[in-house]
């Protein structure tokens, strides 16, 4: 089995394992079972099935934590340079014609890390949803979908082969469709759900192609050397690094897989579904955009890192597809965040931008910081989303519009405010919040690995992040209360999903702090947003880099060699300075613009033409949506499909009709020459198909026996002659 | 051999002429009588072909029974016992090419298949006993079916012809 | 004796019968033409029976005679019925089945 | 060999039992509607029982061999015999036809389309069943042809009598189109017969001897069969009868058409065309693949242009059968396995979708997508089932549709030796794009029908509130086996693959491995 590790087995220490690691496959199975139970019995349970969802997530969390703990022990039992073998269990799902489809688990540091994050965030989100969706019409369905969604993500993370990964990947897609379109009575919501599923599905073509290519390219090699099929992640990783693969094949496969990641992780140019997906309930946005769905793409790149590493020549430096896409995504989505008035959309674009950082890091060989960014980002982004939900839930009467319905909330919602600030600082990458330790490391390593240009882009991105978050914070918590936050129950301004909740009680009570079920998850998340960075605090020296020790696979036949930039305070201070500059500039501008209504700033976009054009360009999201919807989708669904259908009806069917009518003509002609008497009715050129068939046959149906006889005998005679001629 | 040949050709010519009369005559009763000639000729040919039993059956069933039926049919439909001009239909001429076509096909087929093949000089003569063995042996099932057909025909004819 | 002389006789009779079927419009005469056809077939069958020395031809000739009897019975019954209802037995006037 | 002939009565009984039911039905007075329905139900249950018995006696370890072989002289003059048998390829389809018929009978018990006439309807249904089952067990070309054509007539009447407004047009088109194909097919069969020395029509015999026919002759013979089978499948330029037939056919007709009838064509390819004419198959394969891929995209585009739900589903059949044909055109055992699986999966899923369309029509009195909306609020169960089927149809992993679709795409990457790899890889990418289109049209359909708020139909007198009842007991009975099948096959595809695989391997052995 472990041909590669056995080769020099004598120097390796035996690795420990444990119950939790061996049974990690239970982690996705529990939510899957819970899903089935909720669907079947949920409505009849005391808490409408929500308790099952929460309990299953808690169970998954416990299992993942146990697995994490045992993984750390396993790492500790290994020697310094030893590659810590993942815990792999696989069973044959089915096999046929030499193809073997397995099902199994593949647990290593990366998987454990993401499992823990997913289970943790899912648990908090479910608890939060207990309150947030209380009384919703489809409460049970919501929990079922949420549970299955987490199950899908967990299965994808655990997958030991590409087929299982694809399964989890698609289940997530399905559940995102159900969750984003949760309030499907509104056209907007169902359209957003459709858009999300469809856009991701476009990317999935790449996944299908990539899996197929990898399978056929790698299968022989993996069978021979590792006795696993070409679907196995471990096999593919080893194959990619073996120097065996044809560089073109692996390059195309890597590009194909990356296309799938672009769709799933909302990278440019397929990021457009992500902001629209905010149509779903806030807990969904929080789950989707912090730790699951969108991270799946990043996870896939991290999981199959050897393929990308070799295929896209990551150690080569300079630039490759991943860093280019990542870099573009960071900047363009950060720019979009400036013109949003909807707080959730700001966060959505910020997510897109942060995913760009992760991709950038992975593309530039900064594997560890990128993976660590998955970890930290999950906490602070979830906290931000839940904070936004808390505001809309308790203060702004279900509106997410910062300009119209928020402002000055820091006094009424102190807990939400505090957690928000902590998470924002983490997001901006301020020392010592968690974002600093991951994001700064990414920026640092990108430069160190020879991607200088992209380091600059990343720094610009950091500046923009700080600026737009400051703007959003200012609009939400500072200044004077506006709209619903000021207690004006302006019913026409309410957010769309308002009608579905039974929260009318809140409407009259004005802005207030949210309940415990909402604030406790917020507090927990903000504590983590503050502290989780210390798990891999590079500035404090090697002994603080626990994450690197536990998660990063050591260089071996299964993992490429990764380089780490030495930490330097000078660089860190520079990037911190950029962040603070961003905060300061944005604060001053926001204060002047939104509170003082400074005449030099208000209406600037109207007065300065070039700014106006830029603003319009941003507001219209670079016209990408227009391009997709109006040009591509509308053309395919409209003229092209209609044209195809027209061809079907008029050309293909037309040929058939033509054949029918010409056969009618021919038979009519033949008949006229046999029987001069019957001419009427035979010539009717504009007859439809039915008529033509009928009239074609009609003359011969004269009802006269002797004619029938004549026809019969002459036909027999002709047939006989034909046979005779053929036989002679 | 020669005698048989003479017999064959004589009968054959008579049959053909008679058959032509059947399909051309303007008198239904005449047609029926000409048909008798054809059928009798056929019976004679059967004998030449060493099939006495079939020949006898032909005489009994056809000339005896079927012809009587025909004549009855003619009478019952009150055909004039005399010539009639309205016996042929308007596409009379259509029959000539159709028949000609079939004949051409058969001529080609027969002459190419059997050319100058002769009937063996001392052919195996089939006795009536053998025929009956066949009918009540190998072909018993068709025989049953045929019996049913006849029964059905009798019942059917009665049902059809009944006045009520 | 040639095999063909019988076969040709049968062919001639057959074609005459065909002509009769096509050209006649009196139903009784049509039936008669059909009888000619059937007889020509019988001649064929018996010729081959003699040539091959098999009994099958005889058996089928007999069957054909029997079927012909049945056919004539039913056919004439039909003719009678038609005559009773339409006062004519000209098949040209019987075109209710016209398509 | 003897063991393979054990119990060889079961196939004949299973095939002709429905005819017995028809005879019983014919003897009953017309007015006895309930009794007629009862007889139909009992007959189809008994048929299925025989089918299940067959499956139980079937030796799955020897799935590659013909089992329950029965041979009797039939038309010895043309050397055609009554030779029947099943192997791993035909058994699942044989059973599928029985299951579908039973479910359709159950569904019809109280969903009889206008103008009623239960006696004729059920009789036709049972005759249809005999034809379908017979096609799958026939091991003689003439027998195959007879059953293949036997299917045509009941379907013709079913569309022509119980169909929609344009039923005449649709039924005649269906009939003529398929007759045209069958005529060429028959010519091909005859040519095959004479070219192999006019010895036998038996398929095993022809498989042994067909390979020795000269290549250019094979290509022509294959062309005849291709047209015959492609019309039935239907493949791209021959598909235009399908939307009309589906749209006009009654629900039951559509279900059977989609679930079983279309499979006769693809089954013909796998059972007859490929193994008997290997040289020609290799020449034709790229063209078949090309047409299949065109069908995938073209069917999807056709779907996007539709405003009628049933017509949309009909066009989606064109796309799905494209995947099946693509799998076949690879000439690899994996591709053909995928195609076989795709056939069964498509039968279950599309059959189910047509059932749903029938129920929608019954409740809303229209199939215009724009006039239906908010089905989830009005009939949540139906809406969820519909969603489930849409997801299965667009190839969501874990449901049956995926295992027909993805392996077909996968196998296209590496077609059989001697086929142009580049061409097939292009096919693969296009087919993968086809899955996106599938998602597009199905989800769009679902969004328009199930989501949103119910359309105001108050001006329409028919759709009074009480008529919009959710899924009824009869519907549950008829549907749940299909739904369970979709789920179970999705989770355990090996159930089918393990049956197909040995037989497919044998079929492909003529290609030299």
Q: In this predicted structure, which of A270-284, A359-373, D82-96 has the lowest mean pLDDT?
A: A270-284
**Contact criterion met (CB < 8 Å) for C99 and A701:** yes
Contact, A220 vs D470, CB < 8 A? no
Average pLDDT over every residue of A169-175? 85
Instruction: Give A693's contacts in chain C (Cβ within 8 Å).
Output: none
Q: Is residue B20 part of a domain?
A: yes
pLDDT the model gives residue C96 = 62
Residue A682 CB-density burial (10 A; 0-12 exposed, 13-18 middle, 19+ buried): middle
Binned at pLDDT 50, 70 and 90, residue A176 comes out as confident
Neighbours of chain D (3+ CB pairs under 8 A): A
Q: Is residue B36 part of a domain?
A: yes
Range of the domain at B78: 1-83
Interface contact C9, partner A, CB < 8 A: no
**Contact criterion met (CB < 8 Å) for C53 and B5:** no
Average pLDDT over every residue of D54-68? 83
Average pLDDT over every residue of D349-360? 90
Binned at pLDDT 50, 70 and 90, residue A487 comes out as low
Question: What is the number of structural domains in chain C?
Answer: 1
**Contact criterion met (CB < 8 Å) for A706 and B91:** yes
Q: Indicate whether A18 pLDDT > 70.
A: yes
Query: Which CATH number covers residue B48?
Result: 1.20.120.1200
10 Å Cβ neighbour count for A598? 14
Query: Over the stretch A83-115, which tens digit does the pLDDT of each residue have?
Result: 777 888 888 777 766 677 778 888 888 888 888
Let me know whether B11 and B76 are in one domain. Answer: yes
Q: Is residue B51 part of a domain?
A: yes
Peptide linkage before D234 cis (omega within 30 of 0): yes
Report the SS3 class of residue A99.
strand
Average pLDDT over every residue of D150-157? 87
Instruction: Give B89's contacts in chain C (Cβ within 8 Å).
Output: 23-25, 90-92
Range of the domain at C67: 25-90
Contact, A700 vs A667, CB < 8 A? yes
Let me know whether B9 and B78 are in one domain. Answer: yes
Which stretches of chain B sit within 8 Å of chain A by CB? 89, 91, 94-95, 97-99, 101-102, 104-106, 108-109, 112
Q: On the CB side of C7, how many CA atoms lie within 13 Å of its CA?
A: 24
- Hey, CA dihedral for D29, D35, D38, D39, is it positive or negative? negative
Query: Over the stretch C73-82, which tens digit does the pLDDT of each residue have?
Result: 888 888 888 8
pLDDT the model gives residue B164 = 63
| DSSP calls for A110-144 | HHHHHHHHHHHHHHHHHHHHHHHTTT-TTHHHHHH
> Is pLDDT larger for residue A319 or for residue C4?
C4
Q: In this predicted structure, which of A558-562, A587-591, A619-623, C49-53 has the lowest mean pLDDT?
A: A619-623
Mean pLDDT of chain A: 77
**Contact criterion met (CB < 8 Å) for C43 and B131:** no
pLDDT the model gives residue A570 = 79
Report the SS3 class of residue D70.
strand
Query: Over the stretch A246-294, which tens digit does the pLDDT of each residue have?
Result: 778 888 888 888 888 888 888 888 888 887 878 778 888 888 877 778 8
Q: Indicate whether A403 pLDDT > 80.
A: no
pLDDT the model gives residue A507 = 44
Interface contact A726, partner B, CB < 8 A: no
Strand-strand pairing, D80-86 and A87-96: unpaired
In angstroms, the first-to-last Cα distance of chain B is 58
Average pLDDT over every residue of A399-412? 74
Distance CA D346, CA D485 (A): 11
Domain ranges of chain A: 363-370+384-491+509-619, 629-727
Q: Is residue C2 part of a domain?
A: no
Q: What Rg do the C-alpha atoms of chain A give, in angstroms?
A: 32
List the structure tokens of D267.
């089954």
**Contact criterion met (CB < 8 Å) for C11 and B58:** no
Instruction: Give B108's contacts in chain A (Cβ within 8 Å).
Output: 721, 724, 728
Q: Indicate whether C59 pLDDT > 60.
A: yes
Interface contact C18, partner A, CB < 8 A: yes
Distance CA D227, CA B117 (A): 45
Query: Over the stretch A201-230, which tens digit does the pLDDT of each residue have?
Result: 888 888 888 888 888 888 888 888 877 877
Distance CA A488, CA D502 (A): 73
List the structure tokens of A380.
């602070």
Let me know whether B7 and B79 are in one domain. Answer: yes
Average pLDDT over every residue of B40-46? 92
Contact, A577 vs A430, CB < 8 A? no
Instruction: Give C96's contacts in chain A (Cβ within 8 Å).
Output: 703
Neighbours of chain A (3+ CB pairs under 8 A): B, C, D
ipTM of the complex in this document: 0.62
Q: Phi first, then psi: give them for residue D472, nearest 5 degrees.
A: -90, 170
Select from B88, A306, D97, B127 the least CA-distant residue to C29: B88
Q: Indicate whether A499 pLDDT > 60.
A: no
Residues 298-337 of D with CB under 8 A from A: 298, 301-306, 332-334, 337
Q: Is residue C76 part of a domain?
A: yes
The Cα-based distances of A12 to A8, A85, A643 in angstroms read: 7, 11, 66
Give Cα B52 distance to the centre of its chain: 16
In angstroms, the first-to-last Cα distance of chain D is 24
Q: In this predicted structure, which of A591-605, D17-31, D406-420 has the lowest mean pLDDT?
A: A591-605
Average pLDDT over every residue of B42-50? 91
**Contact criterion met (CB < 8 Å) for C26 and B100:** no
Distance CA A451, CA A446 (A): 5
Binned at pLDDT 50, 70 and 90, residue A681 comes out as very low
Facing B19 at nearest CB: one of C16, C21, C78: C16
Q: Which residue has the tokens 């579904």?
A: A273
Q: Indicate whether A474 pLDDT > 80.
A: yes
Distance CA D17, CA D49 (A): 11
Q: Is residue C50 part of a domain?
A: yes
DSSP bridge pairs for A95:
A100
Whether the full predicted model's pTM is greater than 0.95, yes or no, is: no
Q: Indicate whether A3 pLDDT > 70.
A: no
Let me know whether B72 and B129 are in one domain. Answer: no
Interface contact C55, partner A, CB < 8 A: no
Select from A608, A393, A626, A635 the least CA-distant residue to A518: A393
pLDDT the model gives residue A498 = 43
Question: What is the number of structural domains in chain B?
Answer: 2
Q: Is residue B70 part of a domain?
A: yes
Interface contact D177, partner A, CB < 8 A: yes
Kindly state the percentage of chain D with pLDDT values over 90. Answer: 10
The Cα-based distances of D80 to A396, D116, D136 in angstroms read: 83, 40, 17
């Amino acid at each position: 089995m472990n041909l590669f590790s056995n080769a020099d087995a004598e120097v390796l220490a035996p690795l420990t394992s444990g119950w939790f690691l061996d049974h990690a496959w239970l982690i996705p199975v529990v939510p899957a079972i819970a899903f089935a139970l909720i669907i079947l019995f949920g409505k009849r349970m005391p808490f409408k099935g929500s308790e099952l969802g929460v309990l299953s997530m808690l169970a998954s969390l416990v299992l993942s934590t146990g697995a994490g703990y045992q993984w750390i022990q396993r790492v500790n039992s290994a020697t310094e340079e030893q590659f810590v073998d993942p815990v792999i269990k696989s069973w044959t799902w089915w096999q046929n014609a030499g193809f073997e489809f397995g099902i199994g688990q593949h647990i290593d540091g990366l998987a454990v890390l993401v499992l823990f994050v997913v289970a943790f965030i899912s648990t908090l989100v479910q608890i939060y949803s207990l309150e947030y969706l209380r009384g919703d019409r489809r409460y049970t369905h919501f929990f079922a979908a949420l549970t299955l969604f987490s199950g899908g993500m967990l299965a994808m993370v655990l997958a030991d082969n590409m087929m299982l990964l694809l399964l989890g990947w698609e289940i997530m897609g399905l559940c995102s469709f159900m969750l984003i379109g949760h309030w499907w009575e509104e056209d907007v919501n169902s359209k957003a759900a459709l858009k999300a599923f469809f856009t991701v599905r476009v990317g999935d073509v790449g996944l299908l192609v990539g899996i197929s290519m990898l399978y056929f390219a790698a299968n022989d090699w993996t069978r021979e050397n590792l006795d696993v099929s070409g679907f196995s992640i471990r096999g593919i990783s080893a194959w990619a690094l073996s120097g065996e693969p044809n560089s073109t094949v692996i390059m195309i496969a890597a590009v194909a897989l990356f296309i799938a990641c672009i769709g799933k992780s909302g990278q440019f140019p397929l990021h457009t579904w992500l902001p629209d997906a905010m149509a779903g309930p806030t807990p969904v946005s929080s789950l989707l955009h912090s730790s699951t769905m969108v991270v799946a793409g990043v996870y896939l790149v991290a999981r199959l890192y050897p393929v990308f590493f070799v295929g896209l020549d990551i150690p080569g430096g300079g630039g490759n597809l991943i860093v280019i896409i990542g870099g573009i995504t960071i900047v363009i989505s950060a720019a979009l965040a400036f013109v949003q008035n909807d707080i959730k959309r700001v966060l959505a674009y910020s997510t897109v931008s942060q995913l760009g950082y992760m991709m950038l890091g992975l593309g530039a060989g900064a594997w560890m910081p990128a993976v660590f960014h998955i970890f930290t980002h999950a906490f602070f982004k979830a906290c931000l989303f839940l904070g936004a939900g808390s505001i809309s839930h308790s203060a702004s009467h279900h509106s997410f519009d910062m300009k119209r319905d928020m402002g000055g909330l820091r006094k009424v919602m102190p807990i939400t405010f505090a957690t928000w600030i902590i998470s924002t600082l983490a997001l901006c990458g301020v020392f010592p919040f968690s974002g600093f330790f991951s994001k700064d490391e990414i920026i640092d390593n990108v430069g160190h690995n020879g991607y200088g240009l992209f380091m600059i882009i990343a720094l610009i991105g950091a500046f923009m992040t700080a600026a737009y978050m400051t703007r959003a914070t200012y609009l939400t918590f500072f200044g004077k209360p506006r709209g619903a936050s000021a207690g004006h129950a302006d019913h026409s301004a309410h957010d769309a999903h308002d009608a579905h909740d039974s929260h009318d009680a809140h409407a009259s009570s004005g802005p207030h702090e949210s309940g415990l079920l909402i604030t406790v998850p917020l507090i927990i998340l903000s504590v983590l947003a503050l502290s989780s960075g210390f798990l891999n605090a590079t500035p404090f020296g090697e002994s603080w880099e626990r994450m690197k020790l536990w998660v990063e696979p050591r260089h071996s036949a299964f993992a490429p060699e990764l380089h780490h930039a030495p930490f330097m305070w000078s660089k860190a201070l520079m990037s911190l300075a950029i962040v603070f500059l961003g905060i300061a500039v944005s604060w001053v501008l926001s204060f002047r613009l939104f509170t003082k209504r400074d005449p030099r700033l208000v209406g600037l976009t109207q007065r300065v033409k070039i700014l106006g054009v830029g603003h319009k360009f941003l507001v219209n999201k670079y016209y990408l949506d227009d391009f997709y919807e109006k040009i591509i989708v509308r053309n395919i669904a409209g003229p092209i499909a209609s044209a195809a259908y027209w061809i079907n009806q008029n050309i293909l069917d037309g040929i058939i009709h033509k054949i029918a009518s010409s056969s009618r003509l021919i038979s009519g002609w033949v008949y006229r020459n046999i029987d001069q008497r019957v001419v009427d009715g035979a010539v009717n050129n504009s007859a439809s198909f039915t008529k033509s068939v009928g009239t074609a046959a009609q003359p011969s149906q004269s009802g006269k026996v002797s004619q029938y006889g004549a026809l019969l005998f002459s036909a027999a005679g002709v047939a006989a002659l034909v046979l005779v001629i053929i036989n002679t | 051999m020669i005698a048989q040949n003479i017999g064959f050709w004589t009968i054959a010519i008579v049959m053909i002429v008679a058959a032509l009369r059947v399909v051309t005559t303007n008198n239904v009763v005449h047609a029926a009588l000409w048909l008798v000639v054809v059928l009798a000729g056929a019976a004679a040919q059967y004998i030449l072909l060493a099939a006495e039993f079939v020949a006898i059956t032909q005489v009994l069933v056809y000339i005896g029974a079927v012809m009587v039926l025909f004549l009855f049919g003619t009478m019952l439909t009150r055909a004039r016992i005399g010539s009639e001009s309205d016996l042929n239909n308007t596409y009379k001429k259509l029959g000539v090419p159709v028949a000609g076509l079939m004949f051409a096909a058969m001529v080609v087929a027969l002459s190419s298949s059997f050319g100058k093949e002769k009937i063996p000089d001392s052919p195996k003569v089939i006795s009536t006993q053998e025929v009956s063995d066949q009918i009540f042996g190998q072909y018993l099932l068709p025989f049953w079916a045929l019996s049913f057909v006849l029964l059905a025909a009798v019942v059917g004819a009665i049902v059809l012809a009944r006045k009520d | 004796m040639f095999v063909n002389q019988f076969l040709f006789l049968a062919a001639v009779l057959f074609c005459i019968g065909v002509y009769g079927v096509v050209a006649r419009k009196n139903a009784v005469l049509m039936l008669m033409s059909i009888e000619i056809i059937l007889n020509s077939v019988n001649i064929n069958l018996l010729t081959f029976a003699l040539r091959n020395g098999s009994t099958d031809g005889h058996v089928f000739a007999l069957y054909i005679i029997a079927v012909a009897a049945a056919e004539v019975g039913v056919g004439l019954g039909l003719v009678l019925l038609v005559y009773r209802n339409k006062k004519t037995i000209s098949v040209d006037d019987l075109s209710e089945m016209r398509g | 060999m003897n063991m393979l002939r054990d119990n060889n009565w079961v196939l004949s009984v299973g095939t002709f039992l429905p005819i017995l039911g028809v005879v019983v039905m014919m003897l009953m007075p017309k007015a006895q509607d309930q009794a007629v329905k009862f007889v139909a139900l009992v007959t189809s249950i008994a048929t299925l029982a025989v089918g299940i018995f067959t499956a139980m006696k079937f030796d799955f370890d020897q799935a590659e061999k013909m089992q329950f072989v029965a041979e009797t002289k039939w038309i010895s003059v043309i050397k055609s015999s009554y030779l029947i048998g099943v192997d791993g390829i035909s058994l699942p389809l044989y059973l599928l036809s029985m299951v579908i018929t039973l479910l359709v009978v159950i569904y019809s018990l109280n969903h009889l389309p206008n103008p009623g006439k239960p006696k004729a309807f059920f009789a036709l249904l049972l005759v249809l069943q005999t034809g379908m089952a017979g096609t799958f067990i026939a091991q003689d070309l003439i027998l195959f042809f007879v059953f293949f054509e036997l299917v045509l007539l009941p379907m013709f009447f079913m569309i022509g009598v119980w169909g929609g407004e344009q039923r005449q047009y649709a039924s005649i088109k269906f009939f003529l189109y398929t007759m045209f194909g069958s005529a060429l097919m028959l010519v091909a069969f005859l040519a095959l017969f004479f070219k192999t020395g006019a010895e036998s029509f038996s398929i095993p015999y022809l498989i042994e001897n067909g390979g020795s026919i000269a290549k250019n002759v094979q290509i022509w013979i294959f062309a005849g069969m291709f047209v015959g089978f492609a019309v039935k499948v239907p493949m791209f330029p021959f598909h235009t009868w399908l939307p009309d037939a589906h749209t006009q056919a009654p629900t039951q007709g559509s279900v059977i058409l989609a679930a079983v009838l279309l499979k006769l064509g693809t089954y013909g390819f796998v059972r007859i065309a490929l193994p008997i004419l290997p040289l020609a198959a290799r020449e034709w394969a790229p063209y078949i693949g090309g047409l299949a891929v065109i069908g995938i995209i073209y069917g999807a585009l056709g779907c996007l242009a539709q405003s009628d739900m049933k017509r949309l589903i009909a066009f989606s059949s064109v796309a799905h059968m494209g995947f099946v044909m693509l799998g076949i055109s690879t000439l690899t055992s994996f591709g053909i396995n995928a195609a076989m699986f795709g056939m069964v999966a498509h039968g279950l899923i599309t059959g189910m979708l047509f059932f749903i369309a029938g129920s929608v029509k019954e409740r809303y009195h229209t199939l215009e997508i724009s006039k239906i909306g908010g089905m989830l609020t009005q009939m949540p169960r139906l809406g969820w089932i519909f969603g489930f089927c849409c997801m299965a149809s667009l190839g969501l992993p874990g449901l049956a549709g995926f295992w027909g679709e993805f392996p077909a795409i996968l196998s296209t990457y590496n077609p059989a030796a001697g086929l142009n790899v580049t061409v097939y890889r292009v096919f693969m990418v296009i087919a993968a794009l086809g899955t996106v289109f599938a998602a597009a049209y199905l989800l769009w359909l679902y969004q328009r029908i199930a989501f949103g708020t119910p359309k105001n139909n108050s001006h329409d007198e028919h759709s009074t509130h009480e008529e919009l009842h959710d899924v009824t007991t009869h519907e549950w009975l008829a549907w749940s086996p299909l739904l369970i099948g979709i789920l179970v096959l999705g989770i355990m595809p090996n159930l089918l693959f393990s049956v197909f695989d040995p037989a497919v391997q044998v079929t492909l052995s003529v290609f030299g491995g």
